[in-house]
């Protein structure tokens, strides 16, 4: 019986249709951001949606292995994966197809990613991504560039007053290593740091001394970048951790030189995010409650090349961007030519049958005697 058939509109958890006008708005938003990337010299690439598992999950791809859907390729009989993040694919392309290109290599992309599971706050499993990768540049100016370009891309679609949150994912491991902390202590401290439990962190390190003694102070310093940098400068850091702090100061200085008004926060002991980050990591937050708009940072690409990048999330950007009025829809009577009106910015909707009317086709205007006349709707 037909009553037993599933509703054809029902989709798996975390997947959704994007309907008019949001689908058009998102597409226009992505192209506007890609235009900013291109203006800064980033060249567009288009990786495939699926790859062989062993290449997709190589290098930095291993960090998203648990989020990767897998399936058997009926042609090659090899396992394939659906990308959960585009950055590992860019790294593969740079190391193989573009290996002979001069460095630094600037690449950009836009496409969809699919993940095994969402989060409680972000349950979507299919996500649009648009981003940039700068491969072969190790200078702090490279990290600053990807942050600035991402901020400019957001501004191009009307999202201003953003906040750049900077973290140092390698700082805590460097302090653990310098202190010779055992696995049990590392696990307890990592849990306390992740929960922002300053009392637990203080309790765990009070009898340790050495490098771990800096943790409570660095934890308390999280906030505006200037204050956090001052705390890093004053802290008694071992050499490896000091190098991380100096690099962070150089990156932030380069960002400030190009975007003095940008609000920047720094959390020296935050280490969440993709595990492949090896230097400064970035998160861009939108104004108000619009949330996380982009994420990126320093990593090691394939062939051990230094790299940095930023992925923007157009679905989140769409929610933060100011509403844009859709194109006015102009009804064309049977046989009418709308070329001149399309040149004037109208979306023309041609009648195909006598029963077609402006109201039926959801038009805002009607072509009468060569002019666009607003459609008057009855209350």
Bridge partners for 111 per DSSP:
129
Domain boundaries, the chain: 329-374
The region of weakest confidence among 59-63, 65-69, 176-180, 270-274 is 270-274
Give residues with Cβ within 8 angstroms of 142, minimum separation 6: 104, 134, 306, 308
Taking only the tens place, the pLDDT of each residue in 233-249 is 999 999 999 999 999 99
Rg of the Cα trace of the chain? 25
Mean pLDDT, all residues of the chain: 93
* 79-82 sheet: strands from edge to edge: 50-52, 79-82, 69-72
Q: Is the pTM of this model over 0.85?
A: yes
Question: Half-sphere exposure (CA, 13 Å, Cβ side) for 222?
Answer: 16
Match 């109201």 to its residue by tokens.
Answer: 359
Burial (CB < 10 A; 0-12, 13-18, 19+), residue 33, is: buried
Instruction: Evaluate if residue 350 carries a pLDDT over 50.
Output: yes
> Pick the residue with more confidence: 88 or 7?
88
DSSP 11-73: --TT-----TTHHHHHHHHHHHHHHHHHHTTPEE----SEEEHHHHTSGGGGGGGGG-EEEE-
Instruction: Evaluate if residue 1 carries a pLDDT over 60.
Output: no
Task: Please state, in angstroms and rounded to a whole number, the distance separating the CA atoms of residues 197 and 297.
Answer: 26
> Which of 109, 113, 94 shows the shortest CA–CA distance to 42?
109
Taking only the tens place, the pLDDT of each residue in 133-191 is 999 999 999 999 999 999 999 999 999 999 999 999 999 999 999 999 999 999 999 99
Task: Please state, in angstroms and rounded to a whole number, the distance separating the CA atoms of residues 222 and 226.
Answer: 10
**Is the sign of the CA dihedral 239, 244, 247, 248 positive or negative?**
negative
Give residues with Cβ within 8 angstroms of 368, minimum separation 6: none
Report residue 119's pLDDT band, with 50, 70 and 90 as the boundaries: confident
Q: Which two three-digit tokens encode residue 306?
A: 């230094």
Beta-strand pair 292-300/277-285 = antiparallel
> Which of 151, 136, 107 shows the shortest CA–CA distance to 255?
151
């Amino acid at each position: 019986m037909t009553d037993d058939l599933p509703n054809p509109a029902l989709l798996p958890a975390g997947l959704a249709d994007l309907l008019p006008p949001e689908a058009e708005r998102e597409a226009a938003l992505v192209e506007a951001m890609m235009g900013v990337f291109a203006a800064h010299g980033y060249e567009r690439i288009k990786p495939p949606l699926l790859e062989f598992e062993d290449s997709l999950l190589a290098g930095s791809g291993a960090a998203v292995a648990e989020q990767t859907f897998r399936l058997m390729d009926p042609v090659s009989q090899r396992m394939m994966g659906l990308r959960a993040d585009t950055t590992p694919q860019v790294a593969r392309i740079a190391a193989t197809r573009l290996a002979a290109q001069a460095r630094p290599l600037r690449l950009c992309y836009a496409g969809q990613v699919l993940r095994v599971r969402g989060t409680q706050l972000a349950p979507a499993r299919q996500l649009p991504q648009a981003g940039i990768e700068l491969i072969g540049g190790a200078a702090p100016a490279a990290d600053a560039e990807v942050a600035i370009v991402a901020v400019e891309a957001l501004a191009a679609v009307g999202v201003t007053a953003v906040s750049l949150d900077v973290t140092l994912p390698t700082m805590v491991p460097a302090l653990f290593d310098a202190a010779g902390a055992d696995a049990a202590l590392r696990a307890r401290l990592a849990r306390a740091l992740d929960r922002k439990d300053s009392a637990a962190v203080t309790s765990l390190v009070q009898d340790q001394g050495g490098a771990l003694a800096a943790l409570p102070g660095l934890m308390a310093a999280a906030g505006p970048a200037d204050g956090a940098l001052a705390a890093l400068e004053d802290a008694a850091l071992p050499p490896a951790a000091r190098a991380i702090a100096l690099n962070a100061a150089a990156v932030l200085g380069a960002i400030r030189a190009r975007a003095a008004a940008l609000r920047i926060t720094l959390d020296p002991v935050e280490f969440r995010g993709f595990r492949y980050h090896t230097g400064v990591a970035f998160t861009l937050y939108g104004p108000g409650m619009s949330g996380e708009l982009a994420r990126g940072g320093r990593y090691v690409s394939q062939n051990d090349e230094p790299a940095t990048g930023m992925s923007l999330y157009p679905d989140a950007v769409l929610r933060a961007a100011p509403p844009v009025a859709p194109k006015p829809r102009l009804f064309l009577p049977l046989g009418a030519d709308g070329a001149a009106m399309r040149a004037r910015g109208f979306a023309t909707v041609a009648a195909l049958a006598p029963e077609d009317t402006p109201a039926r086709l959801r038009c805002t205007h009607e072509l009468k005697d060569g002019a666009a006349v607003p459609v008057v709707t009855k209350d």
